[in-house]
């Protein structure tokens, strides 16, 4: 039947490579170097793949590492005639993700858990036990040369935050089928082989997954990528308005159905009135001396926000803000105040100018 390459638990045997991080003889070292050289170009896209499945950057990093370990253990049995190295790695990664997702609650944003609030002055409610969806740092998938598979899948907008949030609504196997078929464009028969099921089951799962995604009511702005310079120009104007504490200028940059949400806080708001009123509340609580640094996440413009500490002149990291915008306005802002997010983006705790 060929090499066992799907990442299931019987995939490892005894007497094979079991010292991925240890010491071996010269032949083993050469084999390990060959493995690392051949698999290194695929790590970035595997990270994006695991993130789509899990909705967490740090968990995706762990799963990529586990994928590489399991691939190394079976590298001597890898059959290039049966599958390309890239396909083989994706099979292992997908099945490791499915194993990791067993019995686990989905990751979500506040808008996927509770209703919007009307009062911007309502008490802040923390969702301390919620497994929050995390943004994906673009440096984890950017910089791909033309024709690089990682660049292709990112260019399709498959990392947009709203789409990732909606995909978390799907059962894990439907999620896997959707990613393998619609993002990676695998044939149904290949997906069936990777998941140990039938082509008919794959087609049925894909149909259900697409229907669920369609029911989510995603807007075109949330799942397509406007020209980056247009989005960035709007967010640049937003940055200037925010740093100047100019609420009127901020309001002028918001759509009529703009959404503001702030994990790990459950409170979220719809509409420019509530949005601006909440920002006014933030200024009243934290002051108006802010520094914002442009970055990007999920193929979308983002800002790392630093606010001056009350007892000195130091500006300290407060939030990472990720924007959905077109060429005229912001339609959705997700403000993350999660340590795991700050670490994933490599953000310094103190403003460095």
Helix then strand count (H, E) for the chain reads: 14, 6
What structural domains does the chain harbor? 1-12+23-104 (1.10.1740.10), 227-344 (3.10.450.50)
In terms of Cα–Cα distance, which of 248, 246, 270 is closest to 260? 270
Which residues make beta-bridge pairs with 290? 307
Place of tokens 């067993």: 102
d(CA 132, CA 106): 8
| Helix/strand/coil for 14 | coil
In terms of Cα–Cα distance, which of 287, 278, 289 is closest to 251? 278
Which tens digit of pLDDT belongs to each residue from 156-191? 578 999 999 999 999 999 999 999 999 999 999 999
In terms of Cα–Cα distance, which of 53, 52, 84, 50 is closest to 67? 50
Give the mean pLDDT of 308-335: 94
Place of tokens 């925010």: 242
pTM recorded for the entire structure = 0.87
Q: Which residues contact 259 (CB under 8 A, 6 or more apart)?
A: 111, 116, 268, 269, 270, 331, 332, 333
Residue 171, both tokens: 């059962």
311 vs 132: which has the higher pLDDT = 132
Which tens digit of pLDDT belongs to each residue from 8-52? 443 333 334 444 444 456 667 778 888 999 999 999 999 999 999
Q: Contact 298/164 with Cβ under 8 angstroms?
A: yes
Which tens digit of pLDDT belongs to each residue from 98-111? 999 998 999 999 99
Q: Contact 218/162 with Cβ under 8 angstroms?
A: yes
């Amino acid at each position: 039947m060929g090499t066992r390459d799907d990442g299931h638990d019987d995939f490892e045997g005894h007497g094979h490579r079991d010292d991925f991080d240890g010491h071996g003889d010269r032949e083993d070292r050469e084999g390990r170097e060959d493995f690392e050289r051949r698999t290194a170009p695929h790590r970035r896209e595997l990270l994006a793949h695991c993130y789509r499945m899990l909705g967490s950057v740090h968990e995706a990093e762990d799963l990529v590492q586990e994928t590489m370990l399991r691939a190394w253990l079976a590298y001597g049995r890898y059959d290039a005639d049966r599958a390309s190295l890239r396909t083989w790695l994706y099979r292992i990664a997908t099945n490791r993700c499915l194993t990791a997702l067993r019995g686990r609650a989905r990751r979500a944003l506040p808008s996927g858990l509770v209703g919007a609030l009307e009062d911007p002055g309502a008490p802040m409610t923390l969702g301390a036990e919620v497994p929050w969806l995390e943004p994906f740092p673009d440096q984890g998938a950017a910089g791909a040369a033309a024709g690089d598979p990682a660049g292709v899948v990112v260019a399709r907008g498959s990392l947009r935050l709203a789409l990732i949030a909606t995909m978390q609504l799907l059962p894990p196997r439907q999620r896997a089928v959707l990613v393998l078929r619609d993002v990676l464009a695998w044939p149904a028969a290949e997906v069936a082989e990777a998941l140990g099921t039938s082509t008919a089951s794959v087609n049925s799962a894909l149909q259900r997954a697409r229907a669920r995604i369609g029911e989510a009511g995603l807007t075109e702005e949330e799942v397509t990528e406007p020209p980056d310079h247009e989005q960035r120009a709007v967010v640049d104007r937003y940055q200037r308005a925010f740093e100047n504490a100019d609420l009127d200028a901020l309001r002028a940059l918001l759509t009529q159905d703009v959404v503001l949400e702030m994990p790990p806080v459950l409170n979220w708001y719809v509409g420019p009135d509530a949005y601006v009123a909440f920002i006014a509340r933030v200024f009243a609580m934290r002051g108006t001396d802010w520094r914002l640094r442009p970055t990007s996440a999920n193929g979308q413009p983002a800002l790392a926000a630093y606010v001056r500490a009350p007892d000195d002149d130091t500006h300290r990291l407060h939030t990472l803000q990720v924007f959905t915008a077109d060429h005229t306005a912001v339609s959705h802002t997700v403000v993350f105040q999660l340590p795991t997010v700050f670490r994933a983006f490599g953000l310094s705790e103190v403003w460095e100018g």
